[in-house]
């Protein structure tokens, strides 16, 4: 029973870690896109 609980916990932890990485990656892309938009606006003025 302990092994099954440990395996379930490990699987959940792995899933949350991967989801967190994808979320941080997406946030980085959003920030980068925002920076490019600011640069384009500054270049026009």
* Chain segment 1-45, per-residue pLDDT in tens: 788 898 999 998 888 888 877 788 888 899 999 999 999 999 987
pLDDT score recorded for residue 40: 92
SS3 annotation, the chain: CHHHHHHHHHHHHHHHHHHHHHHHHHHHHHHHHHHHHHHHHHHHC
pLDDT score recorded for residue 36: 93
pLDDT score recorded for residue 38: 92
pLDDT score recorded for residue 33: 93
Longest C-alpha distance within the chain, in Å? 67
CA distance 38 to 27: 17
pLDDT score recorded for residue 37: 93
């Amino acid at each position: 029973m302990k092994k099954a609980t440990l395996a379930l916990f490990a699987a959940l932890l792995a899933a949350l870690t991967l989801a967190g990485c994808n979320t941080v990656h997406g946030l980085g892309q959003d920030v980068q896109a925002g920076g490019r938009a600011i640069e384009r606006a500054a270049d026009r003025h």
